[in-house]
Amino acid sequence: SGTTDENGEEATFTVRLSSQPSDNDSSTADNVTITVEVSDPSEALLVSAKKLVFDQANWNSPQTVTVRGVYDNVSDGDQPFTVVLKDNVTSDNRFRYVDPPDVSMTNLDLTDKGTFYISGVTGTTDENENNEAWFTVRLSSQPQDNDTTNDPDNVTITVTVPDSTEAELLEPADGELMWLSTDWNTAKTVKVRGVSDDIADGDQSYSVILGADNNSPDRRFRYVDPPDVTLTNLDLTNKGTFYISGVSGTTDENGEEATFTVRLS
């Protein structure tokens, strides 16, 4: 079932006999053994047992063969390979030298993986807690799981701000960005706001972490970790000051004037 890919996706099939092994004597165990190999180890590895042994007790029980795709870092397209099933000498004359059919499979090439496009950051955050910063994220291509089921073809990534002492996440409110096959080229917004810590610690950098979708039905986006975004929260503990001079004179009902001056720090 399924196909292998360069992310290590596994595929399986089963093998069983058509009839019970029997050599018509009771001197030895009556069994049929099939050896299993993968024709191209650079495309797939055998995960299950290298031999399938059927005896009189389990002859009609399907035995599973499992193979796992291998990443080759070469943009060579989807590559075919074969799971080779070889006959073994058996005491049952009906199965002796009978070569089971091999199984052809394909390892999907994921060298050209999906990409997340991250915009530049607009705005800056600071400890006044009323300034926001934001950026957008979109996909490089339409999610597609290459099947005809009604399961949604989507990509969902998580968004977190680990350092809650410097900033809080405003959008997305649920901490997730999701794209469907219908809105894959829509830029989705991530928005943060600075947090006041009441500490004179200078401007502090923090990160918005974008987490990979490890369960996407689209194998080209599965396990692809989007780049994180680094921002700075401006420290306003040492705020600006206004220097006010003393008052010169007093006013009176004759219209006398008094003055004082104001300057910045």
Residue 11 has pLDDT above 90, yes or no: yes
So what's the pLDDT on residue 151?
Answer: 61
| Confidence bin at 27 (pLDDT 50/70/90) | low
CA angle 186, 192, 198 (to 5 degrees): 175
59-95 residue pLDDT tens: 999 999 999 999 887 777 789 999 999 987 777 888 8
In a domain, 260, yes or no: no
**Per-residue model confidence as pLDDT tens digits over 222-242:** 889 999 999 999 887 766 678
Q: Provide the domain count of the chain.
A: 2
Q: What integer is the mean pLDDT of 95-102?
A: 90
Q: Please report the DSSP string for 106-136 in residue order.
A: EEEP-SS---EEEPPPBS-EETTS--EEEEE
**pLDDT for res 128:** 83
How confident is the model over 171-223, as pLDDT tens digits?
999 999 999 888 888 999 999 999 988 777 888 999 999 999 988 888 888 88
At 149 the pLDDT is: 54
User: Which amino acid is residue 97, in one-letter code?
Assistant: Y
Q: What is the rounded CA–CA span in Å between residue 185 and residue 155? A: 12
CATH number at residue 39: 2.60.40
Return the pLDDT at 28.
Answer: 60
Whether residue 242 is contained in a domain is answered as: no
Cα 2–Cα 64–Cα 80 angle in degrees, nearest 5: 40
* Residues 184, 247: Cα–Cα separation, whole Å: 66
* Whether residue 132 is found in the same domain as residue 69: no
Q: Which pLDDT value is given to residue 110?
A: 76
The domain boundary, picked from 108, 140, 166, lies at 108
At 104, the pLDDT band (50, 70, 90 cuts) reads very high
Mean pLDDT of the residues in the chain: 87
Question: What's residue 96's pLDDT?
Answer: 84
Specify whether 80 is located in the same domain as 186.
no
Same domain, 183 and 227: yes
Specify whether 10 is located in the same domain as 88: yes
Residue-number span of the structural domain to which 80 is assigned: 4-108
- For residues 209 and 133, membership in a common domain is answered with yes
Q: Write the CB contacts of 128 (distance below 8 Å, at least 6 apart in sequence).
A: 194, 196, 236
Boundary-marking domain end, from 90, 108, 126: 108
- Does some domain include residue 240? no
- One domain, residues 96 and 166: no
Which amino acid is present at 217? Answer: P
More confident: 147 or 78 = 78
Q: Is residue 191 part of a domain?
A: yes
174 part of a folded domain? yes
Q: Are residues 56 and 13 in the same domain?
A: yes
What pLDDT is recorded for position 25? 56
User: What is the reported pLDDT for 238?
Assistant: 67
